[in-house]
Structure 1
């Protein structure tokens, strides 16, 4: 599938990931790892998951206000705090984020992998994220495993604006953009109509959705750019084959930039930071994405 030339399709009815689906997905990932020789497995287990890549993505957007042209937007996703990613690692990640000098920071779901732990250390780390125009987050499916309410409180305590079927306006020099966010597609109840209920449809709109396949719903709304995670890029990708398996909600859009609605709507699927199901990555490095947003001449 060509990332930059995908036709819109209707999203399947809202679904719930069952335990059977979860185990089946993990089994496929494990089976795929068995294909790799022992040295490759060692690399996938101990090297690549720690080798974070910063992708710089310039984007030219028709409806971006002139006052916001040049904005540096940082996306990170799928940290999956737990047995394979510690609060100490998160502190180092935050330092790396701040060194990129973002104007706006967005997190697209799955802060935790399973149980809540070390809340004080996590709040301290995330509170250190610096962004002049704000810090925003949405929930992912793993955030629901233990307590979505607790995770929501953690984000607020860290100075992030948690978006759950609502929107926030950012204004500079009397020009504005909308940052909207929806609930998780797998475990929650995403409602974009509710999120944009009070938003001006003529204003540039950035949407945060954990599941990238939600783009087929978002394409029916006045959304200019959607940022998502969830897929992990497949987490394990084989040469000439691609990802072995991707989760529900990331079957169509898996990794990188997609151009929809004849270039009027962009989607970016971030590979995430952490791991889930199995502590490996292969040909699929963890990712920070720094977008450089520019207003196109067509928007003048």
Structure 2
């Protein structure tokens, strides 16, 4: 989808976004493999996975989620947690698996720059109640981006849009 606000002097960037896969429960291996296949067919520059990958603990679902290892893009796959990663045991087990075994880059309140675009990944707001040390939702991570460059914010819950505008973290906010 072309964006009128995207600077013409920057090379285009093709994004694929995955959200709310909810592996486990009613979503099975074949469906996850199909999502991976269709995403790869798009030949994206970047894959953004914005949470709720799973509906269960790693001990029960690790094999089910293995197709995610095969996501392919030019600049990588980036993941942020959704609320469901915290519902079923230790979210850090999923973060470790996605980061270290599946080749995803987990943006745990982190920033990455790709082609002069600042991609910000924020933990889900439910991470504040997770009990995991040094693992919470930190909106101030946005300040690590130059406000004159395009910023892509990865977060599972769109309710934070109000917080961004109210706290005036960014001068010119354009949501898509």
- TM-score tier, shorter chain, comes to 0.7 to 0.9
| Cα distance change of structure 1 residues 88 and 74 upon mapping to structure 2, 3 Å threshold | same
1:285 alignment counterpart: none
Tell me the CA shift for residue 133 of structure 1: 2.0
1:203 alignment counterpart: 149
Q: For residues 134 and 200 of structure 1, what CA distance do their matches in structure 2 show?
A: 22
Q: Say whether residues 1:162 and 2:106 are aligned partners.
A: yes
Higher relative contact order, chain-length normalized (CA < 8 Å, sep 6+):
1
- Runs of 4+ that moved beyond 4 A: none
- Pairs aligned (count): 164
TM-score for both structures, normalised by structure 2: 0.83
Tell me the CA shift for residue 198 of structure 1: 3.3
Q: Which runs of 5+ in 1 are unaligned?
A: 1-57, 224-260, 268-300
1:186 alignment counterpart: 126
What does residue range 102-141 of structure 1 map to in structure 2 within 5 Å?
A: 102-116=44-58, 117-122=60-65, 124-141=66-83
1:79 alignment counterpart: 21
What does residue range 28-67 of structure 1 map to in structure 2 within 5 Å?
A: 58-64=1-7, 66-67=9-10
Tell me the CA shift for residue 135 of structure 1: 1.0
Q: More strand by proportion, 1 or 2? A: 1
Q: For residues 165 and 149 of structure 1, what CA distance do their matches in structure 2 show?
A: 14
Tell me the CA shift for residue 187 of structure 1: 3.8
Q: For residues 96 and 181 of structure 1, what CA distance do their matches in structure 2 show?
A: 24
Contact 2:23 2:64 in 1 (8 A): no
Q: Which has the larger radius of gyration?
A: 1
Q: Which runs of 5+ in 2 are unaligned?
A: 129-135
1:101 alignment counterpart: 43
TM-score for both structures, normalised by structure 1: 0.51
